[in-house]
Structure formats: C-alpha cells, structure tokens
Structure 1
Amino acid sequence: MHNKFSDSKQIVVVSNFSQLLATDFKGDINAVCLQRDLIGDFKEIMSKLELKEDLTEVSMNDLRALKLSDGGSLAREVILSDFQLLADSGASPSLNLIKSYERDEELGFISTDVYSFHVDRSPIGTDTFLCTYYGAASEILANDQAEQKILVPEIRKKLKELHDGPEAEFENFLIEHYFDLHYQAKPGARPVNLGLGHLWRLAVDHPDQQCVPCIHRAPVERDGEYRLLLIC
C-alpha cells in the first residue's frame, strides 16, 4: 500500500495493531497510523443508526442489532474488532455518531472547542486513539507549523483583560480555562488530513511524555452528512 503519510516527520506508519501500540513517541514523532483500506459499507451503518443528540454514543449492542446487507455486515465486523482490540489494550473506546460538536464562540477572539487546533492533556500516561469510518476526517498539524494562541499578542492582551486579576495568577487562569491547549496554524501551514479507515494513536500532554503532544482538530461536518468516529 502506498504510504500517503510518509512526507510528515511527525507520523510513523505501521502495518498491525501491536506495532500501533508499541511504537515510541519521541522528539517530533507524536502520531502513529495503522494505515489500511477498509472494506464494507460504512455508509449503511451510519444511515441505520439513530441520532438521539448532536453527538450520540452508539453501544456495541445497538451496532450488533442492526439489520445489514453483506457490505454493512463487513463494516460492522471491522468496528467490533477495532473496539475489542482497543478495549483489550486497556483503552475505553467510544463509537460516536456526530452531527456536530458544541461550539464555543462566546468570547469571539479565542475558541476552545474541538474545531480549534488543540492538544489533549491528561494527569496520567495515556494516548488518544481515533478512526473515522465515515464522513469528514480529523486533521493534525506539525508543532512547528502552529502557534499557541495564548502567545499571540492581541489574544494574550484580551485574555489579560478578561482575567482582571493578579499577574501571578494569570498562567493558572489560562490553564484552568484550557486556553493554553489551543493553537492556530502559522501562515503556510499544511495540516494532514487523517483520512478514512486508518486507526490513529496521538500523543497526549502528560507528565511522562517524551515528545511534544499532537495538535489536532475535528473537521467541520459536511452539510447533511454525519460522521462515524471511534475515539478513546
């Protein structure tokens, strides 16, 4: 299979699940991709699931209960297998049917929703896994192509006005409200689209991490089309 991600210095491409788990994050390397061409009708699954909220978590029992064609059944087996592999590895996978995520546009000058480039943070050593089976796919961005929003002078100035407290407490204020997790792309930046069907492991900001955390964002959904996403 052609390695479509070979141009990126932050990505290691692997050929099986055990390599996906075992590959070390270090230095610039903060994303591992199990690249694959999936067979099966994922659109059929997406169309037969019931959207209860803008983001609906789908149980494996609900997935098993669907009446599907042969193509849909093949797609279901892929999802069930991915879910089981991740659960067996100690992760807590969730299958989401997504119409849209909540937007955070209250402040106007800075956004902290998942459509904004951001890193995930955890107090313990963990990773983010995701796979888009259908719909628009997530993007990642090399760290040297991004700037932390809190370091952009005009944004920082407005955040200080919003904080309106002692200078010594400003950095804590940024962390408490997750402002420090968000980034903007530098001019000329080239985000990498994670594509459909590939299973990704992304580095998280935590105390034992040996690399920079992976900057990523959710895509804006296409009109009238839901996303089917496995994430943990």
Structure 2
Amino acid sequence: MIDLSHAENQIHCVTNFEDLVATPFNGTINAICWPRKLTGDFSEIVEKVELSGNITEIEQEELLALQLSEQGQLAREILLNDMKLLKAHGALPMLNVIQYYDRDSSYPFFPTDVYSFHVDRSPVPTDTFLCTYYGESSEILPNSQGIKKVLIPEIRDELRKLYHGAEEGFESFLSEHFFDLHYQAKPGARPTSAGQGHLWRLAVDHPESQVPPCLHRAPKEKPGEHRLLMIC
C-alpha cells in the first residue's frame, strides 16, 4: 500500500474509479488516489513494445497486437480497461514506455524538466491522471514542504539577469518560460512515492481551482529499466 505518513493530509484515498473522479479537492487535499494491487506481467509489455526514441507511445491497436503470455494478457486487460474508464470520463490517456525524459540544459541553474518538482497548469478546468505500471514511480510533495523557486532570492537574481525588459513585465517573463511552475524541496522534505498500479488524480493550476496545485516530479530511472506510465 501507499505510505501516507508524510503526506500531511494532502492525499485522499478512494476504493473505485467513480469516487476517484467524483471526489472534490478540498482544503489541503490536492491529490486523490485509488490504491490497487494489480495482477499480470507489465514488464512483458515493456519488453515486447518496439521502442522509438526515449519515449514511445503505445497505441491501443499496437497493444492489442502484442503476442503475450497469460500474465501479459492480464496486464493488457488492465491497461485497456484503464484507458476505457479514462476516455469515458473525457480524458485522453497516453500509455508510454519511458527510457528517460529530455533534460533541460537551457539554464543550468534552473532546469525546467519534469525531474524537477513542478505543478501542471491549464487555461481551463482539468485534472492530471497518472499511473505507473512498471518501473520507478512519480513522487508527490506536500505544498508546505516546497518553495517556489522564483521566490528564492539567489535564483530570482539569476533570472533577472536573463530578463532585459521593463520591471512590470518580469512576472510575465517567468510565466511564459514556465519558471513559476517549479519548486524546490525544503530541507527535510519527505515526498510520497506514487507507487506501482495506483491510479492518481492530481490538482492542476487553473482559473477555477479551489485548492493549490499538486507538486510532483518524475523519478530518475534505474539504468536499463524502463517505465510503463499512463498519463493524461
């Protein structure tokens, strides 16, 4: 199961998909989880998919065409059912085999890739859904244990050196380059591992949100081990 000892009342658990999508975020709760112990061999699917680059999206037709053992077929049925549930909810799930994400080296003092704790932003109301079926899983950080990087004085000073416009446009510059989406974990911070098989719904920064967006990041992959991740 999930270790929620450091979640600080940020995470609410449910027992089915209907409650996962219907339970409102409220107060400090900005992550809702449907904990599951899944059957089947998801590693077989990872091994049999033909990779194309560091991130390979598996289309439903390709997933159906894989020749799998009985355990692999069980895993496939779970993936297909999760896709079906999410699509019926109006989401657009993507199933990816991830070798690694591209690193951002544009600003060495401030990488804006997904290995950094960050929040998702949308101009319209939406949520982020994710589930790791195989490999290292995402991490979730209580908002009280992170600080927005653009508020850290030394980082803010470096960002000002990149900006050459009028003072009143500085905040827009930070937003346009996604700097304001990234957070630094405070000393002693204790992230929660999203674990394998659990389906998560995370709060997003959007105009109608009633709660702070959820801080999360992608894990560093183990050498030679790929991740199987559904996200939307």
Contact (CA 8 Å) 2:36, 2:197: kept in 1 or not? yes
Contact (CA 8 Å) 2:203, 2:212: kept in 1 or not? yes
Runs of 4+ in 1 over 3 A off after TM superposition: none
1:73 is paired with a residue whose SS is: helix
1:230 is paired with a residue whose SS is: strand
> What is the rounded CA distance, in whole Å, between the counterparts of 1:148 and 1:164 in structure 2?
22
TM-score scaled to structure 1, two decimals? 0.98
Partner of 1:26: 26
1:130 is paired with a residue whose SS is: strand
Alignment of 1:218 with 2:218, yes or no, is: yes
Post-superposition offset of 1:53: 1.1
Alignment of 1:186 with 2:186, yes or no, is: yes
Partner of 1:202: 202
> What is the rounded CA distance, in whole Å, between the counterparts of 2:208 and 2:147 in structure 1?
23
Please list every run of 5 or more consecutive structure 1 residues that lacks an aligned counterpart in the other structure: none
1:91–1:71 Cα change, 3 Å = same
1:117–1:47 Cα change, 3 Å = same
Post-superposition offset of 1:6: 6.1
Please list every run of 5 or more consecutive structure 2 residues that lacks an aligned counterpart in the other structure: none
CA-to-aligned-CA distance 1:6-59 (integer Å, 9 cap, x gap): 652100000000000011112210000000100000011111011111011110
> What is the rounded CA distance, in whole Å, between the counterparts of 1:177 and 1:3 in structure 2?
34
Partner of 1:4: 3
Post-superposition offset of 1:100: 0.8
Contact (CA 8 Å) 2:6, 2:192: kept in 1 or not? no
What does residue range 28-107 of structure 1 map to in structure 2 within 5 Å? 28-107=28-107
> What is the rounded CA distance, in whole Å, between the counterparts of 1:56 and 1:68 in structure 2?
19
> What is the rounded CA distance, in whole Å, between the counterparts of 1:4 and 1:15 in structure 2?
16
1:118 is paired with a residue whose SS is: coil
The one-letter code of the counterpart of 2:4 is: F
Partner of 2:172: 172
Post-superposition offset of 1:5: 2.8
1:110 is paired with a residue whose SS is: coil
> What is the rounded CA distance, in whole Å, between the counterparts of 1:192 and 1:121 in structure 2?
21
CA-to-aligned-CA distance 1:115-146 (integer Å, 9 cap, x gap): 00000000000000000000000001000000
Equivalent pairs counted in the alignment come to 231
Contact (CA 8 Å) 1:6, 1:13: kept in 2 or not? no
1:171 is paired with a residue whose SS is: helix
Partner of 1:110: 110
Partner of 1:129: 129
Contact (CA 8 Å) 1:147, 1:184: kept in 2 or not? yes
| RMSD after superposition | 1.0
> What is the rounded CA distance, in whole Å, between the counterparts of 2:2 and 2:200 in structure 1?
14
